[in-house]
Amino acid sequence: MSLTEYRRKRRFVGTSTGTREPEPGKRLPQGKRAIFVVQLHHASRRHYDFRLQIGDALKSWAVPKGPSYDPSVKRMAVEVEDHPVDYAQFEGEIPKGHYGGGHVAQFDHGVWATEHDPEAQLAKGHLHFELFGDKLKGGWHLVRSGKASRQPQWLLFKDRDEYAGTLEADDLLADVTPPPEEDARRAGRGKATRKHRSEVPVQAGTKARDWAKLAAKLTRARKAPAPTGFFPPQLAKLGGAPPEGDQWLHEIKWDGYRIIATIAKGQVRLWSRNALEWTDKVPEITGALEGLGLKSAALDGELIAGTGTREDFNLLQGTLSGERLGTLSYALFDLLHLDGVDLSEAPLIERKTLLEQLLGTGTRHLSYSSHAIGNGEEAFELAGQQHFEGIISKRADRPYRPGRGDDWRKTKSLHSDEYAVVGFTAPKGSRSGFGSLLLATPDQTHSWRYVGRVGSGFSDTLLKDLTRRIGRAGSKEPTVFVPENDTDLRSAKWFEPRFVVEVNFRGVGGQGLLRQPSLKAVREDKSIDDLRDSDRGAGGPARKAAAAKQTRRSAKPVARTPPKLSSPTKVLYPDDGYRKLDVAQYYEAVMDHLLPEIAGRPLSIIRCPAGTGKACFFQKHHTPGMELVRFVRLKEEAGNNANYLVVDDAAAVMELVQFNALEFHPWGAHADDPDRADRIVFDLDPGPDVPFAEVRRAAMDVRRRLEELELESFLRTTGGKGLHVVVPLQPRDDWTLVKPFAQSFAEALAQSEPDRFLSVASKRLRNKRIFVDYLRNGRGATAVASYSLRARPGAPVAMPLAWSELSKLTRGDAFTLADVPARLKRRRKDPWAGIELVKQSLGRFRPK
């Protein structure tokens, strides 16, 4: 949002007559939730200023009569210029003669939330939102009026919820001090004797019941004083498969933050898992629990955003940090105390039955975490299909026992775990702060054991925050056991385990190192000591995950469900009659071969919404509507940051197919390490009149010259006229080395045989020669993936081949959608098998 208009209308402090209003440029501390503020403004006309933080500014409206709690009363709200966020703290006088001159007093402030994109709602003309202040609570609406006016006019009115009533803003001025002239005006209107309030009373959401009497009926229930503070929660052990038997109940494993709630004398307090108080951090949960009208209670549950799935965890983090706006709720799964009765010794199934009664038919921001009895495998599979992280299995007949034990077990459908941060690598390329975080896990033999590094999944804000947090800590000597001599760690800085992060990964390598890790979250709710729990046996969670993969009945994590294919009969290859369904079936058939080529890499696609006979377009950035495809935020050459497409599984690939993607073009680097290449691609692109036999001979020449440099290479058809010669790099090399090497190689080839090769892209010079295209080897450049279709007549495929097959190849587009699946079924050996195991790099070619 622009603050240009705000600045234009004001003369700030610096002159004798300047206003003390905040000048744009200053910002409130980061990591806070999005705020709202309402200010009572005694300008030429008395009004209320209503402001909502969206991004880095306060969207603002002038409301002459102030908000009303009566849903039938619609108050005019005139849209005014955006204000800086720190205007929320402003009170006092705006000098006479200045824009808005008069007295400003704070009426109410707090945080706010909305279920959908606020800017999109405002653009459509209807914003539905919730306020969590002392005076303004519950749901509200802003609807744009159809009246033509110089400034956009909106209507502000209350939701019909538990807070609706007859109160007006002017009824809530007990703690707001107006200027003296306002008292006189109010007296003149006959309102001087009106009794004012300072806050809205809590609305009890449950019917009055004798909860103590009901609680006392539970097995082993006993009278006890109300809890006055944090109590340690019961924890689950990680298992490879759900336990069997009807003595177990199975709940969804919510993807959120564990929250402990206590109520004493009606006062609610919230605590994180590691005993940090969260009462003021999530006022919607505090208010919802107050609305239960209980004298005392102790509850256990998970703070979630949206529906609490894996995809919603980023929304939860973004909401708590102020980067996004989402609706939070508290999924409750246990009740340990109720109105003077201790229930911790009662069987879990009885505690949950009473908890369900307590929550009734549902209270906004509170939900009951339901369960299934027995059939653990079925519950686990269903959780995976619905995109949840897994399940928690609990003994239904057992009491509540703090700490980790065998009565609670967790089974995850996604490889993710928490690790200690023990160091960092230096940033490379356009990256600032650090390149990646070094991770470790507790180990019985070495105390702490290095499991890899994570360099993707960081927003710009988080990157800056963690850089400040780390400061200048670290030394060159590892503080943990490192299982292999990784040359990429020679310049790393190490320190003792500092804080906890949660990481997603695609499995575990032979050295116990995580494959393709990406940051899921910084776990402020967990401490280093939490990682020493007993569910992390010898070898740490990485080996646990590998073992679980082998022992789980389903043999692999439950796959995500791809979207339903729309318009399956749409013809995408008009010359050949291939439909969207044919394309989808092709990619399903080759998925096991395609996925290793593109998974975890920044990806560009070619989409053909109307088929190859009409306009197709190249897309590299993530767009709304993509739910299974994730993104990685990367800096581009222009200096801006953009969200690049990344796929991790078959479901994500098929979502792109649903978006009419035909071609897949990955980077020669991984999303977790975008500044270093693990592939070099030489694209041999023949000019007109170059026979394919010459292209074959050129590929063999490139291979031979690479062998002279002790570099092994692999062969691929492009699905077009030419061939690719691909050089794997392990360990990975910086683009600053890879691109000059590729260019020098191509130029040397062209200089040695100028009648056959050229190293410039000019079509004018390409006649009867082969362009050795090295431009695919820069940061952000892409090359078509093996097994990808091409958006060309015949639906050709980029196909990897063994060098021994080259002599029989007659064309670069010899393989098509129609024959590749059958070819793969007949093929005995993958010609690129072991490409990821080839150990070679360009280090010896680095200029000295």
Strand, helix or coil at 68?
Answer: strand
pLDDT at 553 over 50: no
- Paired residues of 481 in beta bridges: 449
Tell me, yes or no, whether 176 and 231 share the same domain. Answer: no
Burial of 166 (0-12, 13-18, 19+ CB in 10 A): exposed
Task: Read off the pLDDT band of 408 (50, 70, 90).
Answer: very high
> What is residue 28's predicted lDDT score, i.e. its pLDDT?
52
Which residues fall within 8 angstroms of residue 76, CB to CB, at 6 or more apart?
Answer: 63, 64, 65, 145, 153, 154, 155, 156
Tell me, yes or no, whether 235 and 271 share the same domain. Answer: yes
Query: E strands of 241-346, at which residues?
Result: 248-252, 257-264, 267-272, 296-305, 328-338, 341-342
Q: Which of the residues are catalytic?
A: 253
- Judge whether 295 and 266 are in contact, CB under 8 Å: yes
- Judge whether 643 and 604 are in contact, CB under 8 Å: no
Helix H, strand E, coil C: the string for 781-805 is CECCCCCCECCCCCCEECCEECHHH
Query: Is 200 among the domain residues?
Result: no
CATH number for position 270: 3.30.470.30
Tell me, yes or no, whether 731 and 697 share the same domain. Answer: yes
Burial of 117 (0-12, 13-18, 19+ CB in 10 A): middle
Q: Which of 4-8, 203-207, 782-786 has the highest mean pLDDT?
A: 782-786
Whole-angstrom Cα distance, residue 309 to residue 329?
13
Between 61 and 19, the higher pLDDT residue: 61
> What is residue 233's predicted lDDT score, i.e. its pLDDT?
96
Tell me, yes or no, whether 838 and 720 share the same domain. Answer: yes
Tell me, yes or no, whether 444 and 520 share the same domain. Answer: yes
- Judge whether 418 and 531 are in contact, CB under 8 Å: yes
Give the least confident one: 17-21, 494-498, 763-767: 763-767
From the list 154, 161, 69, the residue with the least C-alpha distance to 108 is 69
pLDDT at 259 over 70: yes
Between 257 and 485, the higher pLDDT residue: 257
> What is residue 129's predicted lDDT score, i.e. its pLDDT?
97
Query: Is 206 among the domain residues?
Result: no
Which residues fall within 8 angstroms of residue 745, CB to CB, at 6 or more apart?
Answer: 682, 705, 772, 774
Give the least confident one: 40-44, 293-297, 521-525, 540-544: 540-544
- Interior angle at CA 297, CA 351 and CA 326, nearest 5: 90
> Given the DSSP bridges, would you call strands 102-113 and 92-94 parallel, antiparallel or unpaired?
antiparallel
Tally of helices (H runs) and strands (E runs) in the chain:
15, 40
pLDDT at 102 over 50: yes
Tell me, yes or no, whether 725 and 647 share the same domain. Answer: yes
Between 418 and 195, the higher pLDDT residue: 418
Dihedral angle sign, alpha carbons of residues 315, 320, 322, 323: negative
From residue 644, alpha-carbon distances to 594, 641, 649 in Å are: 19, 9, 16
Last residue of a domain, one of 391, 412, 433: 412
pLDDT digits (tens, 9 = 90+) for 34-86: 999 999 999 989 999 999 998 888 999 999 999 999 999 999 999 999 999 99
Q: Which tokens belong to 791? A: 């958006």
Count of alpha carbons within 13 Å of 187, Cβ hemisphere only? 6
Whole-angstrom Cα distance, residue 787 to residue 583?
12
Backbone phi, then psi, for 469, in 5-degree steps?
A: -65, -40
Residue bearing tokens 């390149």: 435
Q: Which tokens belong to 548? A: 């679980």
Query: Is 339 among the domain residues?
Result: yes
Between 622 and 339, the higher pLDDT residue: 339
From residue 442, alpha-carbon distances to 17, 445, 542 in Å are: 63, 9, 10
Whole-angstrom Cα distance, residue 241 to residue 123?
48
First to last CA, the chain: 49
Q: Which domain holds residue 658?
A: 561-848
Give the least confident one: 106-110, 334-338, 464-468, 511-515: 511-515
pLDDT at 680 over 60: yes
Which residues fall within 8 angstroms of residue 538, CB to CB, at 6 or more apart?
Answer: 443, 444, 445
Tell me, yes or no, whether 103 and 174 share the same domain. Answer: yes
Whole-angstrom Cα distance, residue 722 to residue 147?
63
> What is residue 483's predicted lDDT score, i.e. its pLDDT?
74
Tell me, yes or no, whether 489 and 589 share the same domain. Answer: no
> What is residue 545's predicted lDDT score, i.e. its pLDDT?
42
Dihedral angle sign, alpha carbons of residues 373, 374, 375, 379: positive
Strand, helix or coil at 234?
Answer: strand
Task: Read off the pLDDT band of 150 (50, 70, 90).
Answer: confident
Q: For 597, which DSSP code?
A: H
Helix spans in 599-691 (H): 650-658
> What is residue 848's predicted lDDT score, i.e. its pLDDT?
64
From residue 301, alpha-carbon distances to 22, 424, 486, 502 in Å are: 41, 34, 42, 19
Query: Is 195 among the domain residues?
Result: no
> What is residue 189's predicted lDDT score, i.e. its pLDDT?
55
The count of structural domains within the chain is 4
pLDDT at 534 over 60: no
Tell me, yes or no, whether 300 and 407 share the same domain. Answer: yes
- Interior angle at CA 323, CA 321 and CA 329, nearest 5: 60
Q: For 412, which DSSP code?
A: E
From the list 517, 497, 501, the residue with the least C-alpha distance to 509 is 517
Q: Which tokens belong to 315? A: 């929304």
Task: Read off the pLDDT band of 835 (50, 70, 90).
Answer: very high
Whole-angstrom Cα distance, residue 848 to residue 845?
9
Task: Read off the pLDDT band of 504 (50, 70, 90).
Answer: confident
What is the pLDDT averaged over residues 661-668?
97
Q: For 65, which DSSP code?
A: T
Task: Read off the pLDDT band of 486 (50, 70, 90).
Answer: low
Query: What mean pLDDT value characterizes the chain?
Result: 88
> What is residue 795's predicted lDDT score, i.e. its pLDDT?
97
> What is residue 1's predicted lDDT score, i.e. its pLDDT?
44
Query: Is 365 among the domain residues?
Result: yes
Tell me, yes or no, whether 160 and 105 share the same domain. Answer: yes
Whole-angstrom Cα distance, residue 787 to residue 800?
8
What is the pLDDT averaged over residues 151-170?
93
Last residue of a domain, one of 397, 412, 427: 412
Query: Is 194 among the domain residues?
Result: no
Last residue of a domain, one of 412, 429, 462: 412
pLDDT at 190 over 80: no
> What is residue 180's predicted lDDT score, i.e. its pLDDT?
61
Whole-angstrom Cα distance, residue 515 to residue 452?
8
Whole-angstrom Cα distance, residue 28 to residue 718?
53
> What is residue 228's predicted lDDT score, i.e. its pLDDT?
83
Query: Is 845 among the domain residues?
Result: yes
Task: Read off the pLDDT band of 16 (50, 70, 90).
Answer: low
Tell me, yes or no, whether 408 and 440 share the same domain. Answer: no
From the list 80, 68, 84, 198, the residue with the least C-alpha distance to 141 is 68
What is the pLDDT averaged over residues 787-806?
97
Q: What percent of the chain has pLDDT over 70?
A: 90
> What is residue 124's predicted lDDT score, i.e. its pLDDT?
86
pLDDT digits (tens, 9 = 90+) for 611-625: 998 888 888 988 767
Q: Which tokens belong to 147? A: 């009246």
Q: Which of 7-16, 164-173, 629-638 has the highest mean pLDDT?
A: 164-173
Count of alpha carbons within 13 Å of 353, Cβ hemisphere only? 12
pLDDT at 295 over 50: yes
pLDDT at 535 over 80: no
Backbone phi, then psi, for 672, in 5-degree steps?
A: -80, -5
> What is residue 763's predicted lDDT score, i.e. its pLDDT?
67
Q: For 26, which DSSP code?
A: B
Whole-angstrom Cα distance, residue 410 to residue 389?
10
Q: Which tokens belong to 588? A: 């399903």
CATH number for position 524: 2.40.50.140
> What is residue 225's predicted lDDT score, i.e. its pLDDT?
93
Residue type for 265, please?
A: K
Tell me, yes or no, whether 755 and 609 share the same domain. Answer: yes
pLDDT at 638 over 70: no
Q: For 64, which DSSP code?
A: T
- The number of residues in the chain equals 848
Q: Which tokens belong to 338? A: 């109720």
- Classify 780 in phi/psi space as left (phi over 0), alpha (psi -120 to 50) or beta: left
Task: Read off the pLDDT band of 120 (50, 70, 90).
Answer: confident
CATH number for position 799: 3.90.920.10
Q: 623-649 b/e with 16+ CB inside 10 Å = b? A: eeebebbbbbbbbeeeeeeeebbbbbb
> What is residue 184's predicted lDDT score, i.e. its pLDDT?
57
What is the pLDDT averaged over residues 221-246?
91
Task: Read off the pLDDT band of 191 (50, 70, 90).
Answer: very low
Query: Is 219 among the domain residues?
Result: yes
What is the pLDDT averaged over residues 738-755?
95
pLDDT digits (tens, 9 = 90+) for 558-608: 458 888 898 899 999 999 999 999 999 999 999 999 999 999 999 999 999
